[in-house]
Every structure is written in structure tokens, then in C-alpha cells.
Amino acid sequence: MAATAFVEALARSVRSWCAGATGVRDVAQLSGGASQETWSFVIERPDGDIAAILRRSPPGYGSVSGRAAGLEVEAELMRLADEAGVPSPRVLHVLTERDGLGDGFLMQKVEGETIPRKILRDELFAAARPKLARQIGTILAGLHGIDSAALPGLRTISSTQEIELLRADYRSMDWPRPVFELALRWLADHDPGVSKQITLVHGDFRHGNLIIGPDGVRAVLDWELAHRGDPMEDLGWVCVNSWRFGEIDRPVGGLGSREEMFAGYQDAGGTVDADRVKFWEVMGTLRWGIMCCGMMQRFRQGPDHSMERAMIGRRSSETEIDLLRLLAPRA
């Protein structure tokens, strides 16, 4: 149950900017991390209610990630994506100090599913599944085609800088893992350097951040890690084996082939460099492995010995197998 003061503040905010709004109902918290919360609620209006979502950092909290773009930037990116034809929730309002709700924004709720197990298995999505890999390529081409001049302030990161960040994260844990050492060496040896094409990169384009319905992808979510960089990064990240959920022979999120995704990307005006895509798939696999190790370290050191952290932490061994399959494939 949401606190009364929070619900009252949310209702005051909504009435101040939403024409005809009389209040809110069904306020429920969907998630709450160290710095960000997500809430679901309904805006009440005589002309028709609006199902909405609030993403916010409460007053007094800042981002815990130095990579985070910031919620105001996320909202602007979602607006640009919507204008460019990339499926995105419609941003309704960006919070100001006057709202008294912290930093964040409100968006219209998009119906659909984000749980991979259901998307990959349920009959409801059977007709959409064969089309999704190609559709993902089309969406990514549209996302990468957003006018760079219109983008808000974003960090720019090259492959070389990303390697150094991963190496620093890995070394800081003082937990030697030979396969990770091999991957770091491979990445350094195959580093493409600064890309000739620098575009908007979503940074976390995968299952869980896509709302999918029986008709296909309905919205791209969670632009927190958006930045400027090599567009092939997004194509490589969505192919990381950890996002296939058992469907390892379908590289694009367990949905289809790289070739299908590439075809959708190229038909929508994008240019694919398969070697760079593989580089970023290796990079993404190592990144997720290091993140899993970080979860295990936090589980061990406490004080929050959550089972979820332990379960994610053990998946670092899976990424070692994935890296070996990428770097030393069997004939």
C-alpha cells in the first residue's frame, strides 16, 4: 500500500498538468531499487482514465551508477524515439521541484509482456516469435538513426574505453578467473577502436526492457544506460547468450538468427559490420560475467545476504562457458 502523503502528492501533481484530471487510484509500487522506483497507477478523468507509470528517484536520492544518463534525459530520449517511429511509451510529464516527488517522469502505460519465459514459450506469442528477430533489427536501425544533433547531453564511450572500464572492475574484485583474462586479452587484440559511425546507443537493449504483445514489440524501455557510441554495440548485446533463456540456437534473445536481425536492420537503412557485432557480443558477455561476480561479492560481504544476489552471482560460471564458445568454438 502506498503511503498517503505520496499518493496525495502524486494526485496534486497530476491535477496540475493533466487536463481534466480529478485524482489517482490503484497506486502500486512495481519496483524499488537503491535509487529509483517504478509505480503503476490510474489517472482519473471524466473524459476517460489513463493508465500511467511513474519512474522516479525520491527526494534526497541520486543515481548509484556513474553510467546512468539520468531520468530527465531518459524522458527526452523516449520522446525522440517516439517521434522517430521507435515503439516507445508516451511521456506525459517530467517532474519538477514543484511536484514534490523527486526526479523522474510519468509515461502512459503500454500493455504487454516483459517476462522472457512467457514470451519464448506461451501460445499467446506464437505468431509474433518468428518475426521478432527481424523486427528487433528494424527497431535498432530506427533508434540508431535518430538525429544526433537532437540528442540531449550523453557520454560518448569507445570500445577501448569500455575495455579499460571492464578491466578495472574485474581487477578491483581481486578474484582471478582465467577465462575472463582470456576474454580481456581477446578484446584488446580485436579492438576496433573509435567507430566511424557514432550514434545513439540504447546500452541495454534485451529481454526485460522490451514490452512485447501478440503483434510484436510494443515499446522499448529503460534508457538508463544510453550513450553515444558504436551502434553495433546494441546488436551484440541483444545476442549475449544470457538473454536467450535456454534457446541457445537462436542468438537474438532466443527468438531468431543474427541474419534475420541483420536483414531487418539493413532494410531499415542501417549498415551491419558482423565482426564488430561479434566483438560487442564478447564484450557484453564479459560485462555480464563481471556484473555477476560483483553480485556474488556483495552477497558474501553483506550486510544484505539476499538469495537473489547469490543466484545471479553463480551465473558468472555460465558466462565463462559462453565466452569459450565464442572465442574457441568447436568445429
Picking from 258, 159, 254, the residue whose alpha carbon sits closest to that of residue 201 is: 159
Domains and CATH numbers, the chain: 20-108 (3.30.200), 116-327 (3.90.1200.10)
Q: Which residues have C-beta within 8 Å of that of residue 241, sequence separation ≥ 6?
A: 248, 251, 285, 318, 322, 325
Which DSSP category does 89 fall into?
P
Determine contact, residues 242/272, Cβ cutoff 8 Å. no
User: pLDDT per residue over 154-183, tens digit each?
Assistant: 999 999 999 999 999 999 998 899 999 999
CA dist., res. 312 & res. 296, Å (int)? 7
What does the alpha-carbon distance between residue 144 and residue 297 come to, in Å, rounded to a whole number? 35
Helix, strand and coil content of the chain, in percent to the nearest 5, comes to: 45, 15, 40
Is residue 41 within a helix (H) or strand (E), and if so which, with residue range? strand 37-44
Q: What's the rounded Cα separation, in Å, for the pair 264 and 267? A: 5
DSSP-assigned letters across all residues of 142-190: HHHTS-GGG--S--B--HHHHHHHHHHHHHHTT---HHHHHHHHHHHHT
Cell numbers found for residue 179: 577465462
Sheet order of strands, 103-108 included: 23-32, 37-44, 50-57, 103-108, 91-94
Per-residue pLDDT of the chain (331 residues; tens, 9 = 90+): 468 999 999 999 999 999 999 999 999 998 755 458 999 999 999 999 999 999 998 765 544 445 777 899 999 999 999 999 999 999 999 999 999 999 999 999 999 999 999 999 999 999 999 999 999 999 999 999 999 999 999 999 999 999 999 999 999 998 899 999 999 999 999 999 888 899 999 999 999 999 999 999 999 999 999 999 999 999 999 999 999 999 999 999 999 999 999 999 999 999 999 999 999 999 999 999 999 998 887 767 777 677 777 777 778 889 999 999 999 877 6
> pLDDT for 14-59, tens place per residue?
999 999 999 999 999 987 554 589 999 999 999 999 999 999 987 6
* All three cell numbers of 143: 533508434
Query: pTM of the entire structure?
Result: 0.92
